[in-house]
Chains A and B, each alone.
Chain A
């Protein structure tokens, strides 16, 4: 196996004996070869066909070309068996020979070794045997490497004649460009491989703002008005009842009411916040030392033209304009002339004069009167309406709205007033009295001289038959919040305009006059002169337009009498309850004008005999009044208008004064306190107190002619005497004598009228018998009440 010609064989002993190759006898290890003839093997095969050991290699044996086959003893079992057959000659040869050679080598080696051992000292030198060179192919490489001439070299030989060597030569120029191809140019070109790379560069930069348009839309919430309506929560009645009866409320009240009562009592005991220091200061100023109570003479007015020999009997301040006083005067006549009152002829017209502070010489305005005016009053609701009562019993009305401007005008105009005499519509037919005639209902424009004050005619005169038979001694405007109609019921006047007058006269009658509201309200000072006055003619008819004059009839007539004693009363003064006036304040320009003074005659006071008519008194439940009459009696009664007049008794009657009452005035501070002045004494009454006056003065030396309450101080009043003095009475200080005494004039004081022009300036207008009007300024002490003077006075009363 590996060796295709080696075939392992197993030789049995028998075989071995046959072929003489017995192990260890014929064939040993050293001598392992055995050549066997082929014929022998074939014979063996024939004899022992299958048993023969050569049977497996029978074919090989048969094919073996040689004669002898080699069999090799394989002691080491190299090929697997103890013998192997070499199948080829060459192998046999090789095996035999090498074995021979091996034997030889072994022999040689043995020999060489023997030799070496023997011939170790010397080595026989044999010279190298020259051998023929064997070519191994290196000759080719050499041939390739050698350099050989491929082309044979060419030889040239150049010769020149000898004589041309060294001869002189001449050179010429030639342009190179003419001849083409004479020169070869090598132009320069930019070789890109050598260009310089720029690493730094200057660059300019400009900054431009980026402009961009943008827009937004916002939602505009516009303000809207919103309102909420609400009403307070309230408990229904059942709930209230339930709460009221609940236990909790009871407990609450029991726990709370004690605290509350403590607090209430604290307040009742004293006022914890009362400033004693301040109060002390006030008292000091009023009591310390002798305060300087004085009436400073401010101005006095008199007019020589109109007021000669006259006495002023009524003084009224203009309610709105500053410093304007109206004065009515009457002539002082002798007794006989007064008796012949009806037949006298007036030398000059009777007028009411308006004075102004700024012009003491010239009166500002004159009101023409049919007769001498005994008393007059400004209308509280419209200061341009003036009502006056005449000597003959008539009632006269003036309207000075045209002159309102003038009264307001500045002082500079006072001298040069050119006024047109206003001719009111009056178609009066005065039959009886031969007095100042009244022109027709035409417009009379009278240019007057500058010194002459304007003359205002009256706009209404009552009819003679219906008015008083005796001089009207007192006239009042009724308060603006109630009025009476013809039926007698008192109802509220919604127009808030004073529409009614009440007059009284010694003819024992009290008359109520009515002025329709349509006339009074819008009285603007227009230039229109002609004005139609509507007057209330018959009772119960309102708003009829008619020219007045002598058609004016009283609304209601009250007759005073006492039913049982059948005496009559001649009321001289009347004072109604709740006379509260509030004036409409037009512009209060402190510009002044002078006014006129009315001239009159025939004093009333000398009239002695009261009439003897029997009158009746009507009872009134709602309103009361005081009446003072000629006999010095004070009558206190009610009035209520009833159609069927019943005689009703007056409530009370007092006889205190000896002479005729000349003043009956309600206190401006306390509504139920009255002052009555008559004769030589005066008395203070309290309404409701029927036993008598609260205070009654002793008889003084002189007669008291007039008395007036102070407008501001509740306990102070002024008394005028017939010796020309003014007494200032202060109830709180002394009740038995006047606290102060002033001498004003020489003659009888006829009228006093206090007025408040400004909080600092209080005036007292005093008129006397000489026709002079004195205006006095009252000092501060008389002006300002002490702090609790009202309380003190109340306590006093």
Chain B
């Protein structure tokens, strides 16, 4: 399906380690990691995204969060929020 195709395309980018799709409640729907890691990422990033979104909207109610990037020493976590779902991609940027 298109869903599969899109996800595969994202996964095929250089350096991408994992892709996780979670629903609005934080329950993973589709993932390329093992179960425990997926659950951990889903829970933590869901909370972080909610906090970030509420921060943005507190400052300006007309505004909304479109993208969240967390750069760490080892890799980069990218979160694209939406009304019902959340797409999380973990990429190793350099090398």
Chain A interface (Cβ within 8 Å of chain B)?
232-235, 240, 243-245, 248-250, 252-257, 259-261, 263-265, 267-268, 271, 273-274, 791
Contact = CB atoms under 8 A, between A and B. Distances in A.
Q: Pick the 3 closest A-B CB pairs, nearest first.
A: A267-B93, A271-B94, A256-B80
B3 A244 contact: yes
19 contacts: A232-B27, A232-B42, A233-B27, A235-B28, A235-B29, A240-B30, A243-B29, A244-B3, A250-B3, A253-B7, A257-B87, A259-B67, A260-B80, A261-B13, A263-B89, A264-B10, A264-B14, A264-B89, A267-B93
Contacts, number: 93
Interface of B: 1-3, 6-7, 9-10, 13-16, 21, 23, 25-30, 35, 39, 42-43, 66-67, 69, 71, 76, 78, 80, 82-85, 87, 89, 91, 93-95
Contacts of A261: 9-10, 13
A588 B69 CA distance: 44
Contacts of B93: 267-268, 271
Given A248-B85, A257-B9, A260-B10, A267 B3 contact: no
Contacts of B1: 244-245, 250
Q: Which of A267, A271, A273, A791 has the most CB of B within 10 A?
A: A267
A252 B85 contact: yes
B52 to A, nearest CB: 15
Contact of A264 (B3, B82, B91): B91
Given A243-B29, A253-B6, A271-B94, A248 B84 contact: yes
Contact of A232 (B23, B39, B71, B95): B39
Nearest to B73: A273
Contacts of B85: 248-249, 252, 256
Given A256-B82, A256-B87, A260-B10, A791 B95 contact: yes
B58 to A, nearest CB: 23
A268 to B, nearest CB: 5
Contacts of B16: 264
A267 B39 contact: no
Given A257-B10, A261-B10, A261-B13, A249 B3 contact: yes
A260 B3 contact: no
A254 B84 CA distance: 13
B27 A244 contact: no
Overall SS of chain A's interface: helix
Contacts of A254: 2, 6
Given A232-B39, A264-B16, A250 B84 contact: no
Given A259-B67, A264-B10, A268-B15, A253 B91 contact: no
Given A254-B2, A267-B93, A268-B13, 19 more contacts: A232-B43, A233-B27, A234-B39, A235-B23, A240-B29, A244-B3, A244-B29, A248-B84, A250-B2, A253-B6, A256-B85, A259-B66, A259-B80, A260-B78, A261-B13, A264-B91, A267-B15, A267-B94, A791-B95
Contacts of A273: 71
A255 B94 contact: no
A255 B29 CA distance: 18
A267 B95 contact: no
A255 B82 contact: yes
Contact of A268 (B6, B14, B67): B14
B13 A264 contact: yes
B78 A264 contact: yes
Given A259-B66, A260-B89, A234 B27 contact: yes
Contacts of A257: 6, 9-10, 87
Contacts of B28: 234-235
B60 to A, nearest CB: 20
A249 B69 CA distance: 22
Contacts of B84: 248, 252
B19 to A, nearest CB: 9
B23 A243 contact: yes
Contacts of A235: 23, 27-29
Contacts of B26: 233
A469 to B, nearest CB: 50
A244 B1 CA distance: 9
A255 B79 CA distance: 13
A551 B56 CA distance: 78
A584 B16 CA distance: 36
B29 to A, nearest CB: 5
A268 B9 CA distance: 15
B69 A263 contact: yes
